[in-house]
Each structure stands twice: as structure tokens, then as C-alpha cells.
A and B are shown apart, each in its own frame.
Chain A
Amino acid sequence: MKQKNKNIYRIVIVITILVTIFSGCRQTDNTSGDNKGETILHGTISISGAFALYPLTVRWAEEFQKLHSEVRIDISAGGAGKGMADALSGMVDLGMFSREVSREEYHRGAWCIAVAKDAVLPTINSDNPFIIMIKKSGISRNQLVSVFIENNVDTWEECMGKAGNTPFHIYTRSDACGAAEMFGKYLGGNQEKLSGTGVYGDPGMADAIKKDVYGIGYNNVIYVYDMKSRRKYDCMEVFPIDLNDNGMIDDDEDFYLTLDDVMNAIKENKYPSPPARDLYFVSKGKPGNKVVIAFLKWILTDGQNYVGEAGYVQLTGSKIDTELQKLE
């Protein structure tokens, strides 16, 4: 009798624990927010994807959660590709996306909405032996093509048009991401066609460049410049693009000193698009969750106030109107 009772108690305890765990799970999965009136929102939004959009999304989430304390927003990075894969498979509500949506992705039901703009910059180490010459003459699009796509450049001297043997280390992104895709697109190809040692993630790429004086790669603006000081991070330098291909950086091509200079150049379309690009949130079909729609609406209205501060470029007024239409 005693043993039987003990067993019954054990089974009851196990079942209770399991029920508690699983009911807990159901609560966090409850993304269908109850909308009791305009301002009381309640639920969870899960977001994953592009490193490019990550810092801005974190900022937006902070501000949105201040206004709606019952909403929880979970954000993780992992590259634009991961954002799309997670969104299309239903694992997250929104994917952060830093390139154009492809036909195959639309075929699978992708829905996207633009929220901000930024750019990919070619990056080098600030202690590069040729830094002075680099800043003066810059690099043209054709030269970038022979570095990254044709893999024709083996030494820094070759890159600068001299003789010598300084090692030349090219880096690219190993994870499926928007930065590589847009940078590749600018050079007439795509991520697959970019050569170089594959490093994981934008922070990983920035790290590799910071540690390698002979390195050349590319990064999102927000990983080159410090949001607070508005200046470049230690050891990071931008390889200025010689847009008119005249062999030197003219005054109107020289906009890389501070974050705000670069942002203005992107806004005024002085910096080419691509690699400047719109940043999107993607999901499988238009989001049905009221909390998600509310978040997106807020991003396109009040949220745009935080864009400049966070180091990104706001969308133009007409673009915002078009995007807001998508939410109706």
C-alpha cells in the first residue's frame, strides 16, 4: 500500500511539473494580443535576421516596450538569410532583411515592408601601410570587381598600381547575408561570386579587419562607426570609393569622416545604391498578429525619429506612405 501511494505521488508530481512547463510554453507562444482599446497591447514578438538591422531593431524595441509595457520583443541576429528562413518557416514573427527579396522567396510566400536605409562600405585596417595613398586615391568600382569577383589582386601594391609584395588578405561573409548580396550586386554578381576568406557575421568581419593590417572586406555602416561618438571604431577605416573613376577622391566623394557624413551621402544618393539599400522586415504573408502590425505602424511613424540617432537613414515621406499602405 505504502509503495503504491508513493508511486501515485510521484506520477502526480511529474504530471504537475509537465503541465506547468507546457502551459508556460503556451503563454509565451501566445502572440495573438488582446486589443482592449487602442493603447493596451499584450503579447510577444519574435524577430531574427540581418546584423545590419539588429542595432536599430533593438532601439525600436526598447522604445516600443516603454510605450507598451505588456509587449515583449525578442530579437536575435544571424544574417539576412536566417531571418528569411525563420520567417518563412514560421519560427519568428518578423525577419530582419538587408537585401531584395528574391523571386523564389516571393514564391514561398514572403511579404516585406521597408523600414530604414543603410549601406555596405568597403573596409580596411587603419594601420594599413598604404593608408595615406588609399585615402587620397580611393578605389573604383572596376578595381573592386577585380579584387572581390575576379580575385585578380594578390598584393597591396598591385591594388594601388605599384610594384611590391605586401600580402593582400580578402575577407567575405560566410553566412547568408544581405551585406554580401548587395555588395556583390554592386559589383555585378552576388554573394556566391565574392571571393575571400569567409568570416561569420558582420561583427566577425569587423573583427577580422581590425586584427589584420593587410585585410580588405566590407561592413554595414553601423559596424564601422560608433553610434555614440559618430566616429569610426579604432582600427577600422573605410576604403573610399572613387565614384567618377578619376583616380582620386574629390571633395564630393569624401564623406567618410563621421557617421552623419556617410548618412547624408546615402540620403542624398551620393553613395551608390546598391550597396546602399533599403532595410526590410519580412514575414510569411501579411502579419495577422495585431501586436506586430502595431509595432510596424509605430516604426513607420514615431519610430522614424530614432533612425538618425541610431546611425541609419530615414525613408522618404512618399516611401513611408507606400509602406504604410501595405499594413492596411
Chain B
Amino acid sequence: MVFCLALVVVLPFIIGVGLYIKSTLLFESCSVPELLFSGKWMPREGNFGFLTFIVSSLWVTVLAVLISAPVCLLTAIFLTQYAKRYYLTVMHPVVDILAGIPSVIYGVWGILVIVPFISNDVAPLFGVQTSGYNILSGAVVLSVMIIPFILNILIEVFRSIPIELTEASLALGASKWVTIKRVLVKKAIPGILSATGLGVSRAFGETIAVLMVVGNVVNIPKGIFDAGYPLPALIANNYGELLSIPKYDAALMFAALILFAVVLIFNLLSRITIARFEKSTL
């Protein structure tokens, strides 16, 4: 048992170290700041600037979280404060189904429904011409995919707030909504932040669904109706060129290392916050 535990704990380190070792070939010719902040991506000429991909990833992730976090927050509040008990029992399988749908199905749904919707209905509202394959489509698909993760944690967060707080607030004459706004949400802020953090780390790494709708154009996106090219899509699309261009394999490993580092940091921070939050509410 201890061996299994050790194996599981050590595995992320092994992956991280492996990725680092494979990327060192790249560091011989380019410095790390140059890699991270240059927008020039021409692998055949030896230019590996990851800025485009990092910025695209940030655009898609932040937008997705901005869309889904409020939705999940309000849903969680409704389910835990207003709704009858059985709503929650019905919601659990629904959320599990959402979490269990394979990524590629979300991608296909994105292509069939979201892309035409954005191209024909949403973009004209803003006076923009777009093929529909852009950051917004990626963010919409991604936001649906991260709902189960954020929602589950938020429900747990609200349920773990001691009922005495609610009772005390109501007893002092506050209305239900004011209680929720001023007392519960305030108390739950660390939990909300960490749920969002987990959502971010999940969204950052989501590959297939996003690459099918986001446009895959190597240009720094300047708005939500521009196409983008997130880091996971870079790796998935160009895996084929791995051995065909010198140093390309090191470059893709470096992209994977960036992803790994970002996801690791967000996950750790979120888990630590959740742990502290649970301790303080016991």
C-alpha cells in the first residue's frame, strides 16, 4: 500500500522532470524569456516563440471561467438554499453525465451548434464578420465542460458552512437574499476562489474540444472574435511534425512543460485554499 502511495505521489515529479529533460535541447539556442515572450513561431527557421499560444490559452480560459463561474455560483446557491432536497439528488447524475461526456463529443457539438450560432447570430449583433472558429466558440464549449467541476465544489462549499450562521443572520432580521449575499457568500469566498482555480486548471489543459472550434491560427488574438491557438492544441496538432523538424520535439515538450507547470500551480493553490477553508469552518 505504501508502495502504491509512493508511486502515485512520485509520478507527477517523474513526468515534470522528464518533460524538463526533453526540453533542454531547446534551451541551448534560445533563452527562456525569449521562448515565453516572443511571438515569432517559425519552427523551420528555428524561431520558437510561445507568446501566441500562451496568450490564446489565457484568453480562452479566462473567458470560459468568466462565463461558467457566475452560472455555477448562482446554481449552487439555488440548489443549497432555495431548492427542495430532491433537486440536488436529481442534479448529481446530471452533473456526472456532463463530466463524463468525452471531450471529442463536446468538440463535435461545438462544430455543429456553437460555431454556426456564433457566426450567424452572435457576431452580426456586434457587427463582426467571423467564420465562427474563434476564441468565443472555444470559451463557450470550454465553459460547459468545466461546469461539473466548479459546481460540485461550490455545492460542497455551501453545504459545509455551519447552519448557525444562517440562523443567526435570519434571527437578526436580515432577509434570505441579504443573508446569502452578505454572510454566506462572504464566508465561502475562499471556497469559491479555489473552485474557480480548479476550473481554470481544467480549462487550461482541455485539448480536443477546444482545438476543433478555436481556429488554430498562429496569431495573437486581439478580441473574442479572433481565432486563437492554445497550448494544448499546439501539441495535439503538431505531434506529427515531432521528428520532422529539428528541435521541434524539444519545443513541444517545452509547451507541455509550461502546461504542466501552470496546471500544477493552480491545482496546488486551489487545494491548499480548500483545505484551509474546511479547517476554518469545522
A residues neighboring B (CB under 8 Å) = 78-85, 88-89, 102, 104-105, 108, 167, 169, 171, 174-177, 190, 192, 195-200, 204, 207-208, 211-212, 215
Task: Please name all residues of chain B whose beta carbon is closer than 8 Å to the beta carbon of A175 when the two chains form the complex.
Answer: 237-238, 240
The residue from A85, A198, A208 contacting B217, defined by CB atoms under 8 A apart: A198
Do B240 and A80 touch across chains, with their CB atoms under 8 A apart?
yes
Q: Give the residues in chain B near A85, CB-CB below 8 Å.
A: 239-244
In the complex, A120→B133 CA distance in Å? 23
| Residue contact B243 to A200, C-beta cutoff 8 Å | no
Q: Are B216 and A197 in contact (CB under 8 A)?
A: yes
Q: Chain B contacts of A199 at CB under 8 A?
A: 133, 216
How far in angstroms is the closest Cβ of chain A from B253? 13
Task: Name the contact of A89 in the complex, choosing from B237, B238, B243 (C-beta under 8 A).
Answer: B243
> What's the A-B contact tally at a CB cutoff of 8 Å?
79
Residues of B within 8 A of A (CB-CB), count = 26
Asked if B240 contacts A78 (CB within 8 A), the reply is: yes
Give the contacts of B102-123 with A (CB-CB under 8 A). 111, 116
Partner of B240, one of A79, A192, A211: A79
List A contacts of B239 (CB < 8 A): 81-82, 85, 176
A215→B215 CA distance, assembly (Å): 14
Asked whether any CB of chain A lies closer than 8 Å to the CB of B160, the reply is: no
Residues of B within 8 A of A196 (CB): 217
Query: Does B74 lie at the interface of the complex (its beta carbon under 8 Å from any beta carbon of A)?
Result: no
A81 partner residues in chain B, CB cutoff 8 A: 238-242, 244
Chain B residues near A190: list those with CB within 8 A.
Answer: 44
Q: Does B131 contact A (CB under 8 A)?
A: yes
* Given A102-B245, A176-B238, 13 other A-B residues pairs in contact with their CB atoms under 8 A: A81-B240, A104-B245, A171-B131, A175-B237, A176-B237, A192-B43, A196-B217, A197-B227, A198-B216, A199-B133, A200-B216, A204-B212, A211-B116
Report whether over half of chain A's contact residues are helix, strand or loop; otherwise say mixed. Answer: mixed
The yes or no answer to B229 lying at the interface (CB within 8 A) is yes
Counting chain B CB atoms within 10 Å of each CB, which of A82, A104, A174, A212 scores highest? A174
Complex Cα distance, B216 from A30, in Å, reads: 39
Chain A CB within 8 A of B69 CB: no
* Cα A80 to Cα B242 with chains together (Å): 12
A-binding residues in B (CB < 8 A):
42-44, 111, 116, 129, 131, 133, 211-212, 215-217, 227, 229, 233, 237-246
Question: B208 to chain A: closest CB distance in Å?
Answer: 9
Q: Do the beta carbons of B216 and A176 come within 8 Å of each other?
A: no
Least CB distance from B52 to A in Å reads 13
Q: Of B129, B237, B240, which one neighbours A167 at CB under 8 angstroms? A: B129
A198, B44: Cβ atoms under 8 Å? no
Tell me the bound Cα distance from A212 to B240 in angstroms: 27
Interface pair B243/A174, CB less than 8 Å apart: no
**In the complex, how many angstroms separate the beta carbon of B244 from the nearest chain A beta carbon?**
5
Pairs A-B, 9 closest by C-beta atoms: A81-B240, A198-B216, A176-B240, A174-B216, A82-B240, A176-B241, A169-B131, A85-B242, A174-B237
| A207–B111 touching, CB < 8 Å | yes
Instruction: Please give the distance in Å from B126's CB to the nearest CB on chain A.
Output: 15
Chain A residues with Cβ below 8 Å from B237 are 174-176, 198, 200
Considering only CB atoms, which chain A residue lies closest to B249 in the complex? A85
**How long is the Cα–Cα vector from A300 to B275 in the complex, in angstroms?**
65
Given contacts A197-B133, A198-B216, A200-B211, contact A174 B240 (CB under 8 A): no
Q: Which residue of A lies closest to B44 (CB)?
A: A192
Find chain B residues with CB under 8 A from A171 CB: 131
Q: What B residues does A80 contact at CB under 8 A? A: 240
Which B residue's beta carbon lies closest to that of A178?
A: B240
What are 25 sample pairs from A and B whose C-beta atoms fall under 8 A apart? A79-B240, A81-B239, A81-B242, A81-B244, A83-B240, A84-B240, A85-B239, A88-B243, A102-B244, A104-B246, A105-B244, A108-B243, A175-B240, A176-B237, A176-B238, A192-B43, A195-B217, A196-B217, A198-B227, A198-B229, A199-B216, A200-B211, A200-B212, A200-B216, A207-B111
Report the separation of the CA atoms of residues A215 and B131 in the bound assembly, to the nearest whole angstrom. 9
Chain A residues with CB under 8 Å of B215's CB are 197-198
Bound: A323/B96 CA distance, A: 55
Give Cα A169–Cα B212 distance, bound, in whole angstroms.
16
CA distance A12 to B216 in the complex (A): 52
- Rounded to whole angstroms, the CA-CA distance of A192 and B44 in the bound complex is 8
Task: Give the Cβ gap from A217 to chain B, nearest Cβ, in Å.
Answer: 11
**Cβ of A215: which chain B residues have Cβ within 8 Å of it?**
131
Instruction: Give A118 to B216 CA distance when docked, in angstroms.
Output: 26
Q: Which residues of A contact B243 (CB under 8 A)?
A: 84-85, 88-89, 104-105, 108
Determine the distance from Cα of A195 to Cα of B216 in the docked complex, in whole angstroms: 10
Q: Which chain A residues lie closer than 8 Å to B111 at the CB level? A: 207
Task: Check A174–B211 contact: CB distance below 8 A.
Answer: yes
> Whose C-beta in chain B lies nearest to the C-beta of A165?
B129
With the chains together, A108 CA to B242 CA distance in Å?
11
| CA of A83 to CA of B243, assembled, Å | 11
Q: A151 CB to closest chain B CB, in angstroms?
A: 10
Cα–Cα distance between A167 and B133 once the two chains are bound (Å): 14
What separation, in Å, do the CA atoms of A108 and B229 have in the docked complex?
29
Q: How far is the CA of A319 from the CA of B7 in the complex (A)?
A: 55
Complex Cα gap A207–B131 (Å): 13
A204–B238 CA distance with the chains assembled, in angstroms: 16
Chain B residues in 8 Å Cβ range of A177: 240
**Bound CA span A192–B129, Å:** 25
